[in-house]
Structure 1
Amino acid sequence: MTALAAPAPEVPRDVSRPLVPWTVAVPLAVVSGVLLDAAFPSVGAWGLAYVAVAVVLLLARGRGVVASYGYGVLFGLGFMVPQLQWSGIYVGAVPWLALATLEGLLLALVLPGFAVAWRLADRSGGRLLWTLPVTAGAVWVASEALRSRWPFDGFGWGRLAFSQADSPLVFLAALGGVPLVGFGVVALAAVGVCSVLEVRRLLVGPRPGRPVRATVPFVALALLLLPAASGAQRNAGTLDEATDTTVRVAAVQGDVPRAGLDFNAQRRAVLDNHVTGTLDLAARIEAGEEEPVDLVLWPENASDIDPLTNDDAATEIGRATDAVAAPVLLGAVLQGPGENITNAMLLWDPQTGYRGRSDDQAENGYYAKQAIAPFAEYIPYRDFFRRFSPFVDQVTDFAPGERAAVLEMGGALVGPAICFEVVDDDVVRRQVLAGADLLVVPTNNATFGLTDENVQQLAMSRVRAVEHGRSVVHISNVGTSALVAPDGSTGRRTALFEPDVLVDAVQLRSGRTPATVLGAAPELALTGVALLLVLGHGVVSVRRDGAAAAEHAGDDDDESEQQP
């Protein structure tokens, strides 16, 4: 019998073609994206993240790279369009949809990676199925690493870990940072998918040469161990440190006259609101209704009048600081350098006022935002983007800060991460490495109205608290503000667009978590796994195609020799 007549090797039916027909896969891809968005606040149904990932994993099985990317685009848009809706609340649909489309196209890359991961897992009759959780998780981490760095220094909003602030899996942040939490979500979803497929296969009946695999016991063990490990981690704290030191913090949410892009049109009113909130606190302390505080924190843009050049603004800030008898750290927009402006945090002391501005930021009470936001704090390619939105000319370019700065105030070493800097792994970590035992995220949410942006950002601060084992004061000018414990939990939260003051004792910690020590190493390692997967699959495919071509050529030669 010739080679052409030999029976083809048996390929399991569920591997030879997609599990989900395209008529179902198209709407399902969009729905899975919407489900992933619902895992984030304000819905906050974090378990839906596992469902969404499991669905797109199933959609990728048995499909080619190009087809998988098409479904990935539907998934990415289904997630990013609602996730980033806040970005267009005052600037219109075009900038919002442009950003959502770009981020969706980048997120879509995970599905071709999933398709390749399935091909590896399904080899040898499925004996490599155990590799799927690792390779799928690595692919997701690689995708988020790209989105967080490119283009325009990246935009990591919507990273999977930020949906897990209330999940038992958040403890992974202390071990390997935000990337490891995302890896854990995808890996656990993949374990669930493998288990379902195994049960399905067993119900149909095992075939010769296809032994029962241990995926089901594995997922059961994982589901039992993860909550226990989470509880242990939440109580463990950081490495080699005492955890009983506290300071009493006041976070002042002053509110703004009106929401929108022109929230600071009445800049003096915004400053006065924060001065008034601090004076009211001082009056309660003097009356014995409130205990004295060690430090006071105002949000980003609390003073858009530069107090270093405007004596009236400086006088008002000094009046509030003297009254409360505690140092005040406030967000201010400063004029300069040159034609630029600077988004900064300034430290004001009672009686002596501003500590002074020099190159030595840490000693003199000055921190400038390092990671400035494209299209909000500077406009790249301004002439080009002016064609799409007239709002680009309303943005004056900010000058970025050049380094971390830890500010000593009231017995605490405070490390600020201004607004969107909380998304940036490196900025937050640098503040901790510089010695911060308390993190503060001052932010301005007035430009996003009543959208979910404010609670999504608070969730990021909660994950950062677990990641670095630090208390975080998340203070917004309009809300939602909260004092976050090192385990990510919060007490009372402020309401949107209402003046409020949060006062409580917060814990100081000086040790370092494994995530703080390792930095980007887990992300780089997992990204390397994903790249090796893709390259390895490419090499194997080329060799297999070459071998098949050679075998076909040999069969043609045999047939030609048999011709008379």
Structure 2
Amino acid sequence: MTRTNLTRPILPLWAASLTAVVGGFTLDLSFPDVGWWPLAFVGVAFSLVSLIGRRVGGALLVGLLFAAAFWFVHIDWTSRYLGVVPWFALAGLETVIMGVLAIPLALAYRWVPRLLPGPWGRLVVLPVMIGGLWTTRELILGSWPYTGFPWGRIGMSQSESPLAHIASWTGVTGLTFLMVVFTAAVVQGVREGRPRRVVTAFPALVVAAVLLLVPAFPTQAAGSLTVGSVQGNGPSGYFDQRQRGAILDAQLAASAPLLDEDMDVLLWPEGGIDSDPLSNDATAATLDALSQRIDAPLIVNAATERGDEIFNTSILWGAGEPQLHDKTHPVPFGEYVPDRPFFEMLAPDLIGLIGREYTPGRNAPFFDLNGIGVGLAICFDVIYDDVLWEGAQEGAEVYMFQTNNADFRNTDENLQQLAFARMRAIETGRAVVNISTVGTSQVIAPDGAGIDSLPAATAGAMLTDVPLRTGLTPAVVIGSGVQAVLGWGSVAAFGLLGAWVFVRRTKN
């Protein structure tokens, strides 16, 4: 290929725009509820093809179109109760950030072939650079603004694919990187016009071998834990009509089939108690009676107040002094309002609905359950790597996730979150008990397979022997390092490329 061919667009702008839109829709189909995981590669490929050869303006346009087609469909469940404003605000913000950060991808496609026009540069350096920049974009979306929103990570689309086990080595971030590198290598190999040549296909084949042939990292069996978990299906949505104590009553009623069973712990979901047991004597007495009746401790969740602060709190009750874990990442505009005076000026009615201001937790996502380590994640905390890794590092042998999906009944949110829980089991090599107020609830094996489940919109209980595991996966040990290397390394490499291009232009 000539240098001109290496840097010119594959498609005219109008065709690239259509390709980007199709790519965004296709990427969404790789996530639940459709969940056709191979389409993640197709969606990424369409995005890359639309960006190749584009200048800044064209890259911004096709980047925005791809991002909008993905985000406005992927999280349309945010409009379930509050209407289009929150949906447009969140999807629009993610679209703008993702669209702007498509520009470095397009520039990499222009710069690398000019500076490194040989096969090594085109077929190895370029795909790696594209994979690094795409991954960096995911890291930015997942951490900024405020606590970010890492809901659309490509690696998370692979919970039911044969590639998910790679996350046990590299974390979800590393899986995203490898998937994009593979896709970029295939795109470049086809673009070279000689796909049958070994040198052209070799980079993609190497990455494919890593994705398919490296086994999951083995953790060690450490016995089992008998867990009762209860989905009360109570009126736990933000706008559900209910009387005081109705959610607690629903949980108690759904727990009745387990009262005469032997278990090591009884798990209730997020928001399973609608009063603070740390300050409400009647609620505390009810929990004491239940714990004594089943002769086992409880893991419950409630809004708790300590001083002037309010927390979303998981509580280990009935095993001595209550152990507490407060949600690490309260949801912006859901559980608290950052910069409230500013946003009240923009949407006073919507902001006024958010009365509580939850404080971020400062205690570890971990309970010591009679010598067994239990890792925790409250609802959307399942999407934040630091919460999961900290639990494992504290000594978790099993995870228990508590969530309340009532505000998103009959949407994809529930199944998307459940897929993320499945990826966390695979990533950490630990079983997960994912219990929701309204479903779908599931017990997930360390390899991601389902052990037990309850359907959505149904009150019910599970009694499950859940396997325990010890030993830390590489993802837990080096996951933050993988993110730092891929993120900051890609930024540094892109900066060096830009400087190199600038120096060459000034010399000419």
Q: TM-score, normalised by structure 2?
A: 0.94
CA shift in 2, pair 1:474/1:365, >3 Å: same
How many Å separate the matches in 2 of 1:402 and 1:485? 29
Q: Residue 19 of structure 1 corresponds to which residue in structure 2?
A: 10
Q: Percent identity?
A: 35
Return the match for 2:385 from 401, 422, 425.
425
How many Å separate the matches in 2 of 1:405 and 1:20? 49
CA shift in 2, pair 1:541/1:413, >3 Å: same
Q: CA deviation at 1:281?
A: 1.3
Question: Are 2:109 and 1:118 equivalent residues in the alignment?
Answer: yes
Deviations 1:18-39 (A, max 9, x none): 1011121112211111111111
Return the match for 2:171 from 177, 202, 211.
177
How many Å separate the matches in 1 of 2:339 and 2:101? 29
Q: Residue 218 of structure 2 corresponds to which residue in structure 1?
A: 237
How many Å separate the matches in 2 of 1:494 and 1:50? 32
Q: Residue 229 of structure 2 corresponds to which residue in structure 1?
A: 251
3-state SS of the aligned residue for 1:527? helix
What letter corresponds to residue 93 of structure 1 in structure 2?
Answer: V
What letter corresponds to residue 118 of structure 1 in structure 2?
Answer: Y
Question: Are 2:324 and 1:347 equivalent residues in the alignment?
Answer: no
Q: CA deviation at 1:398?
A: 1.1
Q: CA deviation at 1:319?
A: 2.8
- Contact 1:237 1:486 (8 Å CA) reproduced: no
Q: Residue 81 of structure 1 corresponds to which residue in structure 2?
A: 72
The correspondence of residues 420-459 of structure 1 with structure 2, limited to 5 A, is 420-459=380-419
- Contact 2:258 2:463 (8 Å CA) reproduced: no
3-state SS of the aligned residue for 1:493? strand
Report which stretch shifted further, 516-525 or 117-126. Answer: 117-126
Question: Are 2:250 and 1:273 equivalent residues in the alignment?
Answer: yes
Question: Are 2:281 and 1:311 equivalent residues in the alignment?
Answer: yes
Q: Residue 473 of structure 2 corresponds to which residue in structure 1?
A: 513
- Contact 2:269 2:437 (8 Å CA) reproduced: yes
Q: CA deviation at 1:524?
A: 0.8
Q: CA deviation at 1:253?
A: 0.6
How many Å separate the matches in 2 of 1:214 and 1:139? 24
CA shift in 2, pair 1:224/1:147, >3 Å: closer
Q: Residue 105 of structure 1 corresponds to which residue in structure 2?
A: 96
Question: Are 2:322 and 1:377 equivalent residues in the alignment?
Answer: no
The correspondence of residues 60-71 of structure 1 with structure 2, limited to 5 A, is 60-71=51-62
What letter corresponds to residue 237 of structure 1 in structure 2?
Answer: P
How many Å separate the matches in 2 of 1:452 and 1:184? 26
How many Å separate the matches in 2 of 1:528 and 1:221? 24
- Contact 1:164 1:170 (8 Å CA) reproduced: yes
- Contact 2:313 2:324 (8 Å CA) reproduced: yes
How many Å separate the matches in 2 of 1:117 and 1:509? 43
Q: CA deviation at 1:126?
A: 4.6
How many Å separate the matches in 1 of 2:359 and 2:210? 47
How many Å separate the matches in 1 of 2:374 and 2:492? 41
Q: Residue 558 of structure 1 corresponds to which residue in structure 2?
A: none
3-state SS of the aligned residue for 1:274? helix
Deviations 1:139-163 (A, max 9, x none): 0111111112111121111111111
How many Å separate the matches in 2 of 1:111 and 1:293? 52
How many Å separate the matches in 1 of 2:208 and 2:60? 31
Gaps of 5+ in 2: none
Report which stretch shifted further, 402-411 or 370-379. Answer: 402-411
3-state SS of the aligned residue for 1:135? helix
- Contact 1:256 1:497 (8 Å CA) reproduced: no
How many Å separate the matches in 1 of 2:164 and 2:57? 34
3-state SS of the aligned residue for 1:376? coil
3-state SS of the aligned residue for 1:432? helix
Deviations 1:158-180 (A, max 9, x none): 11111111122222211121210
The correspondence of residues 463-502 of structure 1 with structure 2, limited to 5 A, is 463-502=423-462
CA shift in 2, pair 1:222/1:183, >3 Å: closer
- Contact 2:13 2:58 (8 Å CA) reproduced: no
3-state SS of the aligned residue for 2:374? strand
Question: Are 2:259 and 1:282 equivalent residues in the alignment?
Answer: yes
What letter corresponds to residue 503 of structure 1 in structure 2?
Answer: L
Deviations 1:78-128 (A, max 9, x none): 111111111121111011111101111112244222223323442354521
How many Å separate the matches in 1 of 2:195 and 2:127? 20
What letter corresponds to residue 456 of structure 1 in structure 2?
Answer: Q
What letter corresponds to residue 248 of structure 2 in structure 1?
Answer: L
Q: Residue 134 of structure 1 corresponds to which residue in structure 2?
A: 128
Q: TM-score, normalised by structure 1?
A: 0.85
Gaps of 5+ in 1: 1-9, 204-211, 286-291, 357-363, 549-564
Q: CA deviation at 1:192?
A: 1.6
What letter corresponds to residue 226 of structure 2 in structure 1?
Answer: R
3-state SS of the aligned residue for 1:491? strand
Q: Residue 422 of structure 2 corresponds to which residue in structure 1?
A: 462
What letter corresponds to residue 305 of structure 2 in structure 1?
Answer: Q
Q: CA deviation at 1:224?
A: 5.0
Question: Are 2:49 and 1:58 equivalent residues in the alignment?
Answer: yes
3-state SS of the aligned residue for 1:252? strand
Q: How many corresponding residue pairs?
A: 503
- Contact 1:148 1:155 (8 Å CA) reproduced: yes
CA shift in 2, pair 1:514/1:190, >3 Å: same
- Contact 1:483 1:490 (8 Å CA) reproduced: yes
CA shift in 2, pair 1:514/1:16, >3 Å: closer
Deviations 1:474-531 (A, max 9, x none): 1110111111111122234322111121221111112111111113111110112321
How many Å separate the matches in 1 of 2:419 and 2:331? 19
- Contact 1:294 1:411 (8 Å CA) reproduced: no
- Contact 2:159 2:423 (8 Å CA) reproduced: yes
- Contact 2:181 2:207 (8 Å CA) reproduced: no
3-state SS of the aligned residue for 1:508? strand
Return the match for 2:495 from 502, 520, 535.
535
3-state SS of the aligned residue for 1:58? helix
CA shift in 2, pair 1:447/1:389, >3 Å: farther
How many Å separate the matches in 2 of 1:273 and 1:294? 22
CA shift in 2, pair 1:264/1:475, >3 Å: farther
3-state SS of the aligned residue for 2:470? coil
Deviations 1:373-416 (A, max 9, x none): 11111111222222325132222101222120422225531121
Return the match for 1:188 from 172, 182, 193.
182
How many Å separate the matches in 2 of 1:272 and 1:431? 31
Q: Residue 360 of structure 1 corresponds to which residue in structure 2?
A: none
How many Å separate the matches in 2 of 1:384 and 1:202? 55
How many Å separate the matches in 2 of 1:184 and 1:252? 38
Q: Which has the larger radius of gyration?
A: 1
3-state SS of the aligned residue for 1:441? strand
- Contact 1:169 1:185 (8 Å CA) reproduced: no
How many Å separate the matches in 1 of 2:239 and 2:203? 55
How many Å separate the matches in 2 of 1:410 and 1:490? 26
